[in-house]
Amino acid sequence: MNLPALLQCILLELLTVNCQQLLMQGRIVGGYAPAPHSIKYIVSIQSTTGQHFCGGTLINKYWVLTAAHCNIGAERTMIVAGDYSLSMYEGTEQFLRPHLLIPHPKYNSTTNNADIMLIKLKAPAFLNSYVSIAPLPRQGSSVAEGRVCRVSGWGYTSSSGGQIPSTLHTVKLPIVSTSKCNSTDSFNGNITANMICAGYSTGGKDACRGDSGGPLVCEGRVYGVVSWGNGCADAKYPGVYTSVSKFRKWIDNTIYSFYGRCLTN
Ligand SMILES: *[C@@H]1O[C@H](CO)[C@@H](O)[C@H](O)[C@H]1NC(C)=O
Ligand SMILES: *[C@@H]1O[C@H](CO)[C@@H](O)[C@H](O)[C@H]1NC(C)=O
Ligand SMILES: *[C@@H]1O[C@H](CO)[C@@H](O)[C@H](O)[C@H]1NC(C)=O
């Protein structure tokens, strides 16, 4: 075996491990496959070898919003917009290379706080009948407890592992109050002000492994990014999402500062 091939193997090996860890952390169970291409703002984040490991949202032609824990490095990452079935080439896919990954500077992988990341694309996505952008909530806005939101992704359809489904899945879930989610009966103090929770008190419906980074959409806006949980669809533990409205300023500042720099260059 020649050296470049060996190096590639080592990289692939590292990547596989990374992908496994990501899938473990990620966390749709109890949902259904929506009509093809009816959810156009979601992207699949894949390794350069084509393995799906996280979801994301197109928020602008040049920018994708996802979770900081989906960061495996720009070189190893590929973004696919306009996808529905991961296992089939449908002719609607746009393969987009990232230029920059910008995880939130305060992201803490121990506490999962500030689990949010922006991805700047090398070339803009082409908006058409398969690819669209999703609006964000205003800084500091909130969604009321019980309000029903939608989470989508290509993650596991069963908490006991199982298969990564090849088609996109989606499920509707109610918002759970932070006080309930942070209580001793649930996440026992591990919920920060930068997180929101969603799920049924009876369990059975949730985001799961491989859904990480994907959008939780309420009232037509991306209020949450799939972040973490305890198992999937467990009655005691709702899914935990990064609260996007807490980061709207950071998102705008990051995007605008980038364009500012671009213009003066
Ligand atoms: C992450 O949070 C833990 C617990 O609050 C803290 O001990 C640790 O220093 C933090 N890590 C970073 C990198 O900020
Ligand atoms: C809360 O976080 C601590 C420290 O990371 C962990 O040991 C504990 O299991 C967590 N509890 C719950 C209910 O998530
Ligand atoms: C969750 O509970 C912990 C421990 O009581 C507390 O420090 C933290 O501020 C609470 N989170 C929120 C968002 O209130």
The enclosing domain of 210 has a CATH number of: 2.40.10.10
List all residues 6 or more positions away from 210 whose beta carbon is below 8 Å from its beta carbon.
Answer: 23, 26, 52, 53, 54, 55, 153, 154, 155, 156, 164
Domain count, the chain: 1
Annotation marks residue 47 as catalytic: no
Q: How confident is the model at residue 21 (pLDDT cuts 50, 70, 90)?
A: very low
Please give the mean pLDDT across all residues of the chain.
88
**Looking at the predicted structure, is the pLDDT value of residue 57 above 50?**
yes
Q: Which residues pair with 170 in a beta bridge?
A: 32, 152
- Going from the Cα of 183 to the center of ligand 3, the distance in angstroms, rounded, reads 9
Give tens-digit pLDDT for 185-206. Answer: 999 999 999 999 999 999 988 8
- Going from the Cα of 130 to the center of ligand 1, the distance in angstroms, rounded, reads 41
Annotation marks residue 177 as catalytic: no
H helices then E strands: how many in the chain?
3, 13
Nearest one of 222, 170, 219, 220 to 196, comparing CA atoms: 222
Whether 228 is covered by a domain: the verdict is yes
Report the pLDDT value the prediction gives residue 51, as an integer from 0 to 100. Answer: 93
Say if residues 80 and 93 touch (Cβ distance below 8 Å): yes
- How far is the first Cα of the chain from the last one, in angstroms, to the nearest whole number? 44
pTM of the model: 0.88
Q: How confident is the model at residue 164 (pLDDT cuts 50, 70, 90)?
A: low
Q: Give residues (CB < 6 A) around ligand 3.
A: 178, 182, 189, 191-193
261: which DSSP letter? H
Taking CA atoms only, the protein residue closest to ligand 3 atom 1 is 189
Report the pLDDT value the prediction gives residue 209, as an integer from 0 to 100. Answer: 81
Whether 235 is covered by a domain: the verdict is yes
Whether 130 is covered by a domain: the verdict is no
Whether 43 is covered by a domain: the verdict is no
Report the pLDDT value the prediction gives residue 232, as an integer from 0 to 100. Answer: 86
Report the pLDDT value the prediction gives residue 196, as an integer from 0 to 100. Answer: 98
Taking CA atoms only, the protein residue closest to ligand 3 atom 5 is 189
**Looking at the predicted structure, is the pLDDT value of residue 262 above 80?**
no
Query: Once rounded to an integer, what is the mean pLDDT over residues 101-124?
Result: 98
Please give the number of the atom of ligand 1 that sits closest to the Cα of 110. Answer: 1
**Looking at the predicted structure, is the pLDDT value of residue 27 above 50?**
no
Q: What percentage of the chain carries pLDDT values higher than 90?
A: 75
| Tokens matching residue 129 | 């009948």
Whether 46 is covered by a domain: the verdict is no
Query: Once rounded to an integer, what is the mean pLDDT over residues 112-121?
Result: 98
| Tokens matching residue 143 | 């969604």
Whether 213 is covered by a domain: the verdict is yes
To test the pocket of ligand 1, the residue of 69, 110, 112, 228 to mutate (highest count of ligand atoms within 8 Å of its CB) is 110
What values do phi and psi take at 257, rounded to 5?
A: -65, -35
Q: Note the ligand closest to the C-alpha atom of 68.
A: 1
Alpha-carbon separation of residue 256 from 62, 121, 134 (angstroms): 12, 15, 18
Report the pLDDT value the prediction gives residue 13, as an integer from 0 to 100. Answer: 39
94-96 sheet: strands from edge to edge: 94-96, 77-81, 42-47, 52-60, 63-66, 117-121, 98-103
Domain of residue 206: give its range: 147-245
List all residues 6 or more positions away from 1 whose beta carbon is below 8 Å from its beta carbon.
Answer: 9
Q: How confident is the model at residue 11 (pLDDT cuts 50, 70, 90)?
A: very low
Spatial distance between the Cα atoms of 231 and 254, rounded to a whole number of angstroms: 33
**Looking at the predicted structure, is the pLDDT value of residue 141 above 50?**
yes
Nearest one of 171, 172, 173, 175 to 144, comparing CA atoms: 175
Spatial distance between the Cα atoms of 75 and 93, rounded to a whole number of angstroms: 20
Q: Which of 52, 83, 115, 159 is catalytic?
A: 115
Neighbours of 52 (CB within 10 A): 22
**Looking at the predicted structure, is the pLDDT value of residue 244 above 80?**
yes
Whether 215 is covered by a domain: the verdict is yes
Whether 59 is covered by a domain: the verdict is no
**Looking at the predicted structure, is the pLDDT value of residue 223 above 80?**
yes
Ligand 2 neighbourhood includes 250 CB (under 6 angstroms): no
